[in-house]
Chain A
Amino acid sequence: MISFENSRAIRQRQDYAETIARERIRPQARYYDEYDHEHELPWDFVNFMWQVARKDLESLHPGKSFPDEPFMLLIHVNEMIAWGDIGFYMCLPWPALGGSAIKATGTEEQKEHLKEKFQADSPTWTSMALTESHCGSDSSAIRTTAVRDGDSWVLNGEKLFVTTAKTSMLDSDGLMVVWATTDPSKRASAIKPFLVDAKNPGVKITKLEKKLGLRASDTAVVILEDCRIPLKNILGGMESTGFKGAMATFDAARPSVAAAGLGVARATLDLLKEHLDLNGIRIRYGVPRNLLTSIERDIIDMEAQLRAAWLLVVRAAWLIDRHRPNTIESSMCKVKAGEVVTKITQKGVELMGPLGYSRRLLFEKWMRDGKIIDVFEGTGQINRLVIARRILGYSSRELK
């Protein structure tokens, strides 16, 4: 039976996340965005999340799992934390993309290793190193090598745009999932993920990117120089599903970041409506569209777009929780969310005029932050390609 009623258990955790977002995140959002404070970690928030909140928000805790609908809980928490601030969301000490890859494709020992890391006393992060300077979307073209040498793998190469690389490797005793090719003459089939511990020699963080937004979160260049790791650190063991595993990880990551993006869009709309309210502007619903004022039309259309995008995210989460195929639905919600958050945040600046453009308020920040949703975890174009191939029944050769 079709239903749009969220479960009570999720709503309760959502309320809790809202309190955190309102009280511990939003008031600090501006500080960590300013150039002077870029790459500073909001440690009070991070410690609070690690020591207190994540126990109650099971979605962030690898040891706990919300029984029936873990992913549905996750998207609701993500959306709410990002409503507070998406930079803070990016700083959450939780398994994140690297952790999902380990959970999805790791051996029992590797999963246990991840769990131990996240039971430590101090906050821990995982990161994922895939992109290189010459390839982003075309990740099967990576050149970082993994050469077997006795009981070890030796990794060499340079990785770009590694989210929380610094926090996982330098600020904590975390983990990095590094993608490398075991045979540069082959493409996708030779690409495998490897686990690199924080203390492992041969990992250098050489540059922290200065970004348009998400400035609380570090995005780094990582150089692997004769980085020697144990043989067993190939993710998923010697029979690793490798590249396909990475793609499966993205299926789940896409709704997750789409949800966060829509948190930013909702933050914009909420504040916009607060300002309209203060100025005595009321939005009329039920009236034919051609009779609405321009501002009513904008607001209602943005609300409709936001709701539609959100429901696509909810649908993808619903499929993931039921272990049903969700590639196309996950890509769809990611495309839609990227587009919606971009448009809503840009419109927010327009409607607020000089106040929207000012760094005294958060509208301009949300516009800068929101843009990332259409860029990372597969650009809007790559996700369109994923969808197009599926609906047309085309291989990657037939539709390039």
Chain B
Amino acid sequence: MYSFEPTEEQKIIISAARKLALKEFRDRMRDADETGRHHPSWVEAGWELGLLPASIPERYGGFGDHSAMTWVLAAEELAWGDMTAALVLTAPNLVALPILYCGTEEQKTEFLPVYCTDRYAHGSAALMEPHFGFNPYELKTTAHRNNGSYVLTGLKCNVPFAAESEWLLVYASLDGQSQAFLVSKDSPGLSIGEREPNMGINALPLYSVELKECSIPATQRLGGDAGCDFALLHNSSRVALSALAVGVARAAYEYALEYAKQRKAFGEAIAQRQSIAFTLAEMAIEIDAARMLVWEAAWRLDQGRDATKEAQYAMNFTGDMALMVADRAVQILGGYGYVRDHPVELWLRNARGCGVLEGIAIV
């Protein structure tokens, strides 16, 4: 039977995430965006939510079971506060969840407890590559087996926390298949480049990473000799970005709605004109429609069913939707929408990232 009712536990998480988003993210997002530095409270107060440890079973140091649905519910709220803050707070997922999904027992035992302490531990994954025609299923970064090692070569971009993390999960093509490899920061042949300059999400430290004949033990291939189900990880990543897109859009929509009720023109609130009111109504419809797609894709991930189509639907739809909603929010504020005193221009810049930045989040 269909249901659109989150569990009681999920409702508590939603409400806690919203409080955090309002208290810690909203007031600090502008400063973070201008300085390019995230606020320490984002990870300190954020980590107290316990989202990641609650996704990891007890035997690996956590206290719960993973649910993509719970993650998307939380992610929407976090991104409603600030998408960059949400990406910062959930960056540890980039290592922890692929290991949870596809890791060997040894990998789980070694890595998961790191993410179950009461302190935020950095995580990083390198999927994107800086060339036209980037395709996660046809990576230019290659891995080849050499006795007891894998040797990785290639160029990666937009790698979150590459400089801060002990380990990077690097995606590379092995015999034509995308696979993932746990690369220690100290591995010879790995070099972390400059911070990436982007249009938005400026407070998330993203780096370029180069791998030159970077050799790692064969045991560090995600999933060992059996490898990993890359499509599963890719789908899960798309669902994560989609959930963030819904959050950003909701923030922009709510702000534009309040503004339109306050702003007077020709003797009445501009929201009393159909051109503005209908614009807002359409924004509301698209946000709800997008959320349905995100939920269904997350539900399929939790059911262990293939979610390739649903994840693509969610990614395409939410990417367009977030951009449309944020753009209209700017439009509704007019000149005020274009200046940095109001947050809508920031949301427009962040929203554009949602349909584009594959692999910077995962649920």
List residues of chain A with CB under 8 Å of any chain B CB: 1-7, 68-69, 72, 285-289, 291, 300-301, 303-305, 307-309, 311-312, 314-315, 318, 329, 332, 335-336, 381, 384-385, 387-389, 391-392, 394, 398-400
The yes or no answer to B137 lying at the interface (CB within 8 A) is yes
Q: With A287-B137, A387-B281, A394-B272 in contact, do A5 and B1 touch (Cβ < 8 Å)? A: yes
Question: What is the distance, in angstroms, from B48's C-beta to the closest C-beta of chain A?
Answer: 25
Q: Can you list 12 residue pairs at the A/B interface with Cβ under 8 Å? A: A2-B10, A5-B2, A6-B1, A286-B311, A291-B135, A303-B313, A308-B292, A311-B289, A315-B292, A384-B274, A392-B261, A394-B271
Q: With A332-B285, A399-B277 in contact, do A286 and B231 touch (Cβ < 8 Å)? A: yes
Q: With A288-B358, A312-B289 in contact, do A7 and B4 touch (Cβ < 8 Å)? A: no
Q: With A6-B2, A309-B289, A399-B271 in contact, do A286 and B316 touch (Cβ < 8 Å)? A: no
**B281 contact set on A, CB distance < 8 A:** 335, 384-385, 387-388, 391
- What 0/1 readout, one digit per residue, does chain B (47-72) give for beta carbons within 8 Å of chain A? 00000000000000000000001000
Partner of A304, one of B6, B235, B257, B316: B316
Which one, B19-27, B181-189, B293-301, B340-348, is touching chain A?
Answer: B293-301
Q: With A4-B299, A304-B316 in contact, do A286 and B4 touch (Cβ < 8 Å)? A: no
Give the docked Cα–Cα distance between A400 and B275 (Å). 11
CB pair B3–A2 under 8 Å, yes or no, is yes
CB pair A303–B290 under 8 Å, yes or no, is no
**B257 contact set on A, CB distance < 8 A:** 391-392
Question: What is the distance, in angstroms, from B128's C-beta to the closest C-beta of chain A?
Answer: 10
**A307 contact set on B, CB distance < 8 A:** 293, 296, 310, 313
Give the docked Cα–Cα distance between A6 and B1 (Å). 5
Give the docked Cα–Cα distance between A56 and B289 (Å). 32
Give residues of chain B (275-319) contacting chain A, Cβ–Cβ below 8 Å.
277-278, 280-282, 284-285, 288-290, 292-293, 295-296, 299-300, 308-317, 319
The yes or no answer to B134 lying at the interface (CB within 8 A) is yes
**B285 contact set on A, CB distance < 8 A:** 312, 332, 335-336, 387
**A388 contact set on B, CB distance < 8 A:** 274, 277-278, 280-281
CB pair B278–A285 under 8 Å, yes or no, is no
CB pair B2–A314 under 8 Å, yes or no, is yes
> Interface on chain A toward B: helix, strand, loop, or mixed SS?
helix
CB pair B292–A301 under 8 Å, yes or no, is no
Give the docked Cα–Cα distance between A400 and B277 (Å). 10
Identify 6 new A-B residue pairs, CB closer than 8 A, beyond the known A286-B231, A311-B293. Answer: A4-B299, A291-B133, A304-B317, A309-B289, A384-B274, A391-B281
**A285 contact set on B, CB distance < 8 A:** 308-309, 312
List residues of chain B with CB under 8 Å of any chain A CB: 1-7, 10, 69, 133-137, 231, 234-235, 257, 260-261, 271-272, 274, 277-278, 280-282, 284-285, 288-290, 292-293, 295-296, 299-300, 308-317, 319, 355, 358
Q: With A285-B309, A289-B316, A311-B289 in contact, do A1 and B278 touch (Cβ < 8 Å)? A: no
**B299 contact set on A, CB distance < 8 A:** 2-4
Give the docked Cα–Cα distance between A400 and B273 (Å). 8
CB pair B280–A286 under 8 Å, yes or no, is no
Partner of A391, one of B1, B280, B309, B355: B280
Give the docked Cα–Cα distance between A1 and B2 (Å). 9
Give the docked Cα–Cα distance between A176 and B4 (Å). 36
Partner of B272, one of A4, A291, A399: A399
CB pair B292–A311 under 8 Å, yes or no, is yes
Question: What is the distance, in angstroms, from A122's C-beta to the closest C-beta of chain B?
Answer: 36
Identify the interface centre among B134, B135, B284, B311: most chain A CB within 10 Å of its CB: B284
CB pair B3–A308 under 8 Å, yes or no, is no
CB pair A2–B6 under 8 Å, yes or no, is yes
**A303 contact set on B, CB distance < 8 A:** 309, 313
Give the docked Cα–Cα distance between A318 and B355 (Å). 30
**A400 contact set on B, CB distance < 8 A:** 272, 274
**A2 contact set on B, CB distance < 8 A:** 3-6, 10, 69, 295, 299
**A309 contact set on B, CB distance < 8 A:** 289
Question: What is the distance, in angstroms, from A301's C-beta to the closest C-beta of chain B?
Answer: 6
**A289 contact set on B, CB distance < 8 A:** 315-316, 319, 355
Give the docked Cα–Cα distance between A81 and B282 (Å). 29
6 closest cross-chain pairs (CB), A and B:
A311-B292, A304-B313, A388-B277, A308-B289, A387-B281, A388-B281
CB pair B293–A304 under 8 Å, yes or no, is yes
Give the docked Cα–Cα distance between A318 and B5 (Å). 10
**B355 contact set on A, CB distance < 8 A:** 289
Give the docked Cα–Cα distance between A289 and B241 (Å). 15
CB pair A300–B316 under 8 Å, yes or no, is yes
**B231 contact set on A, CB distance < 8 A:** 286
Residue ID in chain A nearest B283 by CB atoms? A391
Residue ID in chain B nearest A8 by CB atoms? B1
CB pair A305–B317 under 8 Å, yes or no, is yes
Question: What is the distance, in angstroms, from B212's C-beta to the closest C-beta of chain A?
Answer: 26
Give the docked Cα–Cα distance between A7 and B315 (Å). 27
CB pair A1–B7 under 8 Å, yes or no, is yes
Question: What is the distance, in angstroms, from A366's C-beta to the closest C-beta of chain B?
Answer: 22
Give the docked Cα–Cα distance between A335 and B281 (Å). 10
Residue ID in chain B nearest A303 by CB atoms? B313
CB pair A318–B289 under 8 Å, yes or no, is no
CB pair A286–B137 under 8 Å, yes or no, is yes
Q: With A2-B295, A300-B312, A387-B285 in contact, do A288 and B317 touch (Cβ < 8 Å)? A: no
Question: What is the distance, in angstroms, from A84's C-beta to the closest C-beta of chain B?
Answer: 23
Partner of B235, one of A3, A286, A392: A286
Residue ID in chain A nearest B295 by CB atoms? A2
Give the docked Cα–Cα distance between A276 and B39 (Å). 52
Give the docked Cα–Cα distance between A288 and B358 (Å). 9
Question: What is the distance, in angstroms, from A18's C-beta to the closest C-beta of chain B?
Answer: 19
**A291 contact set on B, CB distance < 8 A:** 133, 135
